Amino acid sequence: MTEHARVLVTGATGFIGSALVSVLAQQGVVVTAATRQPAANASPSVRNMAVGALSANTNWAQALAGQTTVVHCAARAHVMQETATDPTALYREVNVLATLHLARQAVAAGVRRFIFISTIKVNGESTGPGQPFTACTKPGPQGAYAETKYEAELGLQALAAETGLELVIIRPPLVYGAGVKGNFLALLKLVKTGVPLPFGRVNNRRSMVALPNLLSLIGCCVDHPDASGQVFLVKDGQDFSTTELLRALARALGQSLRLFPVPQKLLYLGACMVGQRLRAKRFLECLQVDDSATRERLNWVPPLTAGEALVLCFGVAEL
């Protein structure tokens, strides 16, 4: 990364954004962290900029001044207990309209590169055995989150073609690390209970990416000359079945684990009976990624193996 890079990170208090700000600052990059509200305990090496709520009316002029690159991590992601009367409209307001508004202001401010953190869900929710998603896979988003992320991708690509903005799109699968939430946190808590679990015979394959590996790729894309105009998939070097993942987590946590085999169909039916169909699909189905094109184009490899990342992220985790 060049020493002249000046990077604006949106979503700078989020899971990915906060870690990215820290890593870039440690590398000597001049970082501006865009947050909704003024940051407490701000690092002296980071310029913090409160921009308010992310919308199609956000004024980014001050935050964008002098920047060479924007890394757009902010988004409306999965809401576990939805209370909005029209959640799809909110997803579109934040993930599409606000994103394109930011990108247009970035162009006007002379920003050279725009890195958009999208999601593998743009490709779809699951893959067939031995049929991983690639960057060339026809998109098949399902649900408001994935659909609006794809709409944003299309709008950004049109803007880049019109203006010459160097657009980089990254579609990560499940990202894990210290502070992770959602389904991965649920697995961690299950392992920590020590109770016998009925996942001893789950033969799916799931791709994931450790937060440090994703941050490494984002950093590579900040100024890599071959990143512009590309869609990159990313993952760790190893895919896991749910059974393998539970065992790997137990090893990383130093936790004993007792698994007993239950056929996947019965697990799925049982989950459906208690209203957990979507969670069961994510625990039981395949979702694999082929990121060989990313590695070849950028001459990049994840700095951590999956085993190393699990120990680094959770070996001393307090849940």
275-304: per-residue pLDDT in tens? 887 777 888 899 999 999 999 999 999 999
Q: Is residue 279 part of a domain?
A: no
Alpha helices in the chain (DSSP H): 15-26, 61-64, 87-92, 99-108, 144-163, 182-193, 211-221, 242-253, 264-273, 277-284, 292-298, 306-314
CATH code for position 121: 3.40.50.720
Is residue 279 within 8 Å of 214, Cβ to Cβ? Answer: no
- What is the share, in percent, of the chain residues with pLDDT greater than 70? 93
Q: Is residue 147 part of a domain?
A: yes
Mean pLDDT of the 35-56 span: 78
Q: Is residue 34 part of a domain?
A: yes
Tokens at 128, concatenated: 């067939």
Q: How far is CA 239 from CA 168, 175, 205, 244, 319, in A?
A: 25, 13, 6, 9, 24
More confident residue, 185 or 115: 115
Question: Poorest-confidence range of 53-62, 148-157, 166-175?
Answer: 53-62
pLDDT the model gives residue 84: 60
pLDDT the model gives residue 85: 64
Which pLDDT band, with edges at 50, 70 and 90, does 317 fall under? very low
Tokens at 267, concatenated: 């697990």
Task: Show the domain range for 167.
Answer: 6-178+208-236+290-304
Mean pLDDT of the 175-186 span: 86
Total tally of structural domains belonging to the chain: 1
Is residue 50 within 8 Å of 63, Cβ to Cβ? Answer: no
What would the pLDDT profile of 86-145 be if each residue is shown by its tens digit? 678 889 999 999 999 999 999 999 999 999 999 999 999 999 888 999 989 999 999 899
Q: Is residue 241 part of a domain?
A: no
Mean pLDDT of the 256-268 span: 88
pLDDT at 79 over 80: no
Instruction: Return the SS3 of 238.
Output: coil
pLDDT the model gives residue 270: 79
Q: Is residue 1 part of a domain?
A: no
Q: Is residue 273 part of a domain?
A: no
Residue-averaged pLDDT of the chain: 89
pLDDT the model gives residue 274: 79
User: How far apart are alpha carbons 145 and 165 in whole angstroms?
Assistant: 25
If we measure between CA atoms, which residue out of 93, 142, 102, 88 comes closest to residue 120? 142
DSSP per-residue letters across 127-145: --TT--B-TTSPP---SHH
Q: Is residue 78 part of a domain?
A: yes
Mean pLDDT of the 139-167 span: 96
pLDDT at 69 over 90: yes
176 in catalytic set = no
Strand order of the β-sheet with 30-35 is 46-50, 30-35, 6-10, 69-72, 113-117, 166-171, 230-233
Q: Given 91, 145, 150, 176, which residue is catalytic? A: 145
pLDDT at 204 over 70: yes
State if pTM tops 0.85: yes
Q: Is residue 285 part of a domain?
A: no
User: How far apart are alpha carbons 286 and 231 in whole angstroms?
Assistant: 22
Is residue 150 within 8 Å of 141, Cβ to Cβ? Answer: yes
The secondary element (H helix, E strand) that includes residue 9 is: strand 6-10
If we measure between CA atoms, which residue out of 133, 272, 264 comes closest to residue 198? 264
More confident residue, 295 or 77: 295
pLDDT the model gives residue 318: 42
pLDDT the model gives residue 226: 96
pLDDT the model gives residue 109: 96
Mean pLDDT of the 178-201 span: 87
